Amino acid sequence: MIFEVLCLFICVTALTGLLNIGRRSSRYFPKTSLSDRNIYNSYYERIKNSVIEATGFSPKDIDYLFRRFVSLDQSNKRYLDTMDFHGISGLCQNVLGEQVIEMFLHTETGHCDFMHFCKVLATFRKSRNEEEKKQLIQKKIELIYEMFDVNSDGKITREDIVILLRHMMGEKVCITTINSIAQRMIYEGKTRKGNHTFDDFTSMNIEQFTSLLDKEYVYTHMSIK
């Protein structure tokens, strides 16, 4: 259950601030000219149906997310960058804030357009049928796997787990305590499936990681209500 609790924590971290429009968006287009507003609205009308089709969100959901996206885009670029995400107080103050920001940025450009913004958040929505539920569960697991894979080498190592725990628990928690929690996580994985101990554990791939998780728990607790 430790793995699932960590997954839930990461989910809450990812959604905190991102879906809360708050004060900064009380002005729909802060400090923008009428021309800028028209360009942004035109951009939205061009992509709206494509975003709905790609994500499964309703038109009402997409309208809400677009307002949120606009409120975060401080320079009216029609994409978000690292600085825009750092403007979310609840996120930048979170111990996993940087990992969450990386989750939203394209590897090639370092930017996040509206389509990608919605696709990432769509990972946390409820499914409409059983087949879609299976797909969303796998997407949630893949997203969390990327968070655990701290150095992005395609596998989760003992060092990755320790680093992630240190990010979550802060520098005040001693390394002995962190290693103890990491050991419990690996031992829990052993009791579910596999034969690793803390000392001989080296790494796990996405298939092994998936086998450790209670998929129903992941789906239920990592979905937008």
Domain boundary among 100, 122, 144: 122
Tens digit of pLDDT for each residue in 17-73? 566 544 344 344 445 555 666 778 888 899 999 999 999 999 999 998 998 898 888
User: In this structure, is the dihedral angle defined by the CA atoms of residues 62, 63, 67 and 68, taken in order, positive or negative?
Assistant: negative
pLDDT tier at 5 (50, 70, 90 boundaries)? low
Q: How much is the pLDDT for 173? A: 81
Range of the domain at 196: 130-221
Q: By C-alpha distance, which of 78, 73, 60, 61 is closest to 27?
A: 73
CA 165 – CA 154 distance, rounded (Å): 19
The sign of the torsion formed by the CA atoms of 206, 152, 189, 143 equals negative
CA dist 13 and 44 (Å) reads 27
Question: Rounded distance, CA 184 to CA 214, Å?
Answer: 17
CA dihedral (134, 140, 142, 144) in degrees, to 10, reads -150
Same-domain check for residues 214 and 134: yes
pLDDT tens per residue across span 98-128: 778 888 898 788 899 999 999 988 988 888 8
9 and 109 share one domain = yes
Residue closest to 201 by CA, chosen among 181, 211, 186: 186
Residues 99 and 138 in one domain: no
pLDDT of 27 reads 42
Same domain for 24 and 112? yes
Tell me the CATH number at 15: 1.10.238.10
Structurally, the chain folds into a number of domains equal to: 2
